[in-house]
Chain A
Amino acid sequence: AQSVTQLDSQVPVFEEAPVELRCNYSSSVSVYLFWYVQYPNQGLQLLLKYLSGSTLVESINGFEAEFNKSQTSFHLRKPSVHISDTAEYFCAAPSGGYQKVTFGTGTKLQVIP
């Protein structure tokens, strides 16, 4: 079964600094991987997803993630964060052949002014 691991529960970072949120997955077959974001008092939203093709995927608000098969990682990065990026980020992957999604435990990104 697919599983995802997020080792960092909280990541504080100053505004305009770069950030990396780590995600590792376990699977012996082709994978789909997702990053979801949960802003304060809002529902989960899909941030970006890797399905196939280019290993680097981007979101509309400047985040990117790179699928690394050799390191079984799908880390999320942003070169310069904003206050509005303060949220909880979840790495996720489907299992069971369809959308039974397994989520990581989440990483709270706190952007400090």
Chain B
Amino acid sequence: GAGVSQTPSNKVTEKGKYVELRCDPISGHTALYWYRQSLGQGPEFLIYFQGTGAADDSGLPNDRFFAVRPEGSVSTLKIQRTERGDSAVYLCASSSGSASYNEQFFGPGTRLTVL
């Protein structure tokens, strides 16, 4: 079956612009996660959705970052007034449950470059 998909695969934007990154999870997965992976680092947690609601957004770095999941499936990560420091690979993952032992399935990521 289809895995987690993310679009676009690459996004180049200018400083100050607005961007949207999309994640399409595995069908039926109720939990969805966003991570950010900077060069030379491991993925860092941004936000976790259980269904339509953001159960934990403690990893969002500031109020320029926002994510939605209006129908409990596709999610969009939105970044306003982008800065060069936002350049990273943004990863999305989904799982069938939110327990610690449920496997997370990752998408290929969106590479964001802010010029």
Contacts and interface: CB of A to CB of B under 8 A. Distances in A.
B109 interface: yes
Given A43-B4, A43-B109, A44-B91, A99 B104 contact: yes
Contacts of B104: 46, 99, 101
Interface string A89-104: 0101010111111111
A102 B104 CA distance: 13
A102 B45 CA distance: 7
A49 B106 CA distance: 16
Contact of B40 (A32, A42, A100, A105): A105
Which interface class (under 10, 10 to 19, 20 to 34, 35 or more) fits B?
20 to 34
B42 A99 contact: no
A45 interface: yes
B48 interface: yes
B25 interface: no
B31 interface: yes
Contacts of A83: none
Contacts of A17: none
B13 to A, nearest CB: 22
Interface string B87-115: 00001010100111111101111000000
A26 to B, nearest CB: 15
Given A99-B48, A101-B104, 4 more contacts: A44-B106, A45-B106, A98-B100, A103-B44
